[in-house]
Amino acid sequence: MRFSRLALVASAVVLGACSGGDKNGTPTDSATAATTPTPTTGAPATGTAAAAPITGKWHEVKMIGDGTNYKFEPADITVKAGDGVRWTMVSGGPHNVAFDPAEINAAAKPQLIANMANQMSELSGPMLQGAGETYEISFANVPAGKYNYFCTPHLAMNMRGSITVQ
């Protein structure tokens, strides 16, 4: 059932990406990070949270695809609470960063949602279309734990990663 739901979402995202949409790709900054996004699908998160600014260091992750191999590089990273992660589209797009809402701890979900600007749906960042476009997420006030994520259009190609918050 979960695979069917993810396959349906992936199909809808790919079709939506092909139909145009926002190609701005402007990285978030403190002005946009202060906006609390409203998820458009899925069950509402329990509780509310305000977006928390990055107070630590930045971690860079590249989004790479060449037609046969799609990956986040590095795929698995460890950050401290307050750090930020910046994903950069390198090749093979469109790419995005999405967390499965069913896998996110209920205590962490409101803060993670608040820290993700420009969501396409609950815990799913926007599609990055062109090389050099970036997407940023603050892990400030996000509880310690492991957060698995994926690229929706390339989930079937196993484009996955994880962030461990200490």
Residue range 2-165 in CATH 2.60.40.420: yes
pLDDT score for 16:
45
CA Rg, the chain, in Å?
A: 15
Q: Residue 37: what residue type?
A: P
This prediction's pTM? 0.72
Average pLDDT over residues 64-90: 96
CA dihedral 68, 60, 77, 106 (to 10 degrees): -100
Give, in degrees to the nearest 5, the angle at Cα 152 between 135 and 83: 35
Q: What is the full DSSP assignment across 73-87?
A: ESSEEEE-TT-EEEE
Given a cut of 60, whether residue 76 has pLDDT beyond it is yes
pLDDT score for 48:
80
Answer yes or no: are the C-beta atoms of 148 and 104 closer than 8 Å. no
CA dihedral 75, 97, 44, 21 (to 10 degrees): -170
Tell how many helices (H) and how many strands (E) occur in the chain.
3, 7
- Burial degree of 22 (CB within 10 A; 0-12, 13-18, 19+): exposed
Given a cut of 50, whether residue 139 has pLDDT beyond it is yes
- What would the pLDDT profile of 8-61 be if each residue is shown by its tens digit? 444 444 444 444 444 344 344 333 333 333 333 333 344 688 999 999 999 999
Residue ranges of the alpha helices (H) in 19-163?
Answer: 30-33, 109-115
